[in-house]
Structure 1
């Protein structure tokens, strides 16, 4: 006879796998978006940057000086014991979109819920951007350390953070999030 704890864990695992079935990712061939999907993503990228600039005016100058900026307007995460996040975004250089990327991350532990957030990676140096571009699948925290931006009450970016080769911003509906980790997020180039 199985213990109640093992039975509960088995039921949680089954329920979690059923819940995450809707969050599966498919290959590029399976999800070939229409040209309008590209235009919609481009518009979302620009809207996300404009929202960042309203929250932190310093971010506009930082982005303008950056070697590249990777914007994921909507990273959706869901979890029930096992968590997963997925989103699509675009890399901009000098204000122009240079390519499209997917972001995926997973986690394990007692958790439940769903959320959506925007994630922006600012490559402050050409070297950091080149390492990203030459990777087959760039992983935050493995291929480069990502400093999560610290924003002051007046919207100014902490000067030490702004000096880092790669700076990340995480925005929820409530504004910029502090104390989050971007470690382990895998970013891969896709075709749209």
Structure 2
């Protein structure tokens, strides 16, 4: 029994370390994207985002045709600031040559109340349960498209330094219950975390601060 307990503790520590690394990588993705603002996310989108999802190193499977899989973290804007993160997974879809066989970072941004409500569900498919479109790029990019009216989610990819909007229709975003349980120590409801009713764990504060640093309401909008 002692050996089993030690083994379980070791597994928990390993899981925790992986989640800490995932949060660190998600913060790095945002920082690197925003380091080149002229090719990054437009200010109007940063100011209007309801939720942000970051999937570092999304991978396309080499052995299963068309299989893609990634793990990441999500946080939502609340009246008290950005929420503690929940852990999510993104599966499916087929973006072909746009990703190829290489690892790609993904950023998904919920832009309105409908997008936020979809985020609060346990599982949904982009393009079916939630309208999604490739997000515009560039600090001063304006809506030459109808994304402001119709898109619940704007989607982006970053691969080999290139940052661009990406069509992620057909991918399924869902909660990673095991990872969320590992961090919060129990069956904390997904919705309660994203609504800001759960304190941000110390190891997640860096990720939440990074999102809060960039996804702010523009002074020009006051």
| Alpha-carbon shift at residue 145 of structure 1 (Å) | 1.7
**Helix, strand or coil at the partner of 1:167:** strand
Structure 1 window deviating more from structure 2 (123-132 vs 57-66): it is 57-66
1:83 and 2:69 are equivalent in the alignment: no
* Higher share in strand: 1
1:138 counterpart = 2:124: yes
- Are the counterparts in 1 of residues 137 and 164 from structure 2 also a CA contact under 8 Å? no
Unaligned runs of 5+ in 2: 1-10, 180-222
Q: Which one has the bigger helix percentage?
A: 2
Partner residue of 1:23? none
Pair 1:157-2:141 in alignment: yes
1:105 is aligned, of 92, 98, 102, to 92
Normalised by the length of structure 2, the TM-score is 0.60
Q: Is the 8 A contact 1:62 1:162 kept in 2?
A: no
Q: What is the deviation of 1:107?
A: 4.4
- Runs of 4 or more consecutive aligned structure 1 residues displaced over 6 Å after TM superposition: none
What are structure 1's unaligned runs of at least 5 residues? 1-30
Q: How many Å separate the matches in 2 of 1:156 and 1:108? A: 27
- Give 1:75 shift: 0.3
Q: How far, CA to CA, are the matches of 2:27 and 2:127 in structure 1? A: 26
1:184 pairs with one of 170, 195, 199: 170
Secondary structure, counterpart of 1:183 in structure 2:
coil
- How many angstroms apart in 2 are the aligned matches of 1:93 and 1:100? 12
If you compute each CA radius of gyration, which structure gives the higher value, 1 or 2?
Answer: 1
Aligned-partner Cα distance in 2 for 1:81–1:98? 30
The Cα shift of 1:98 comes to 2.7
- Deviation of 1:122 after TM superposition, in Å, equals 0.7
Alignment CA distance shift 1:37-1:79 (3 Å): closer
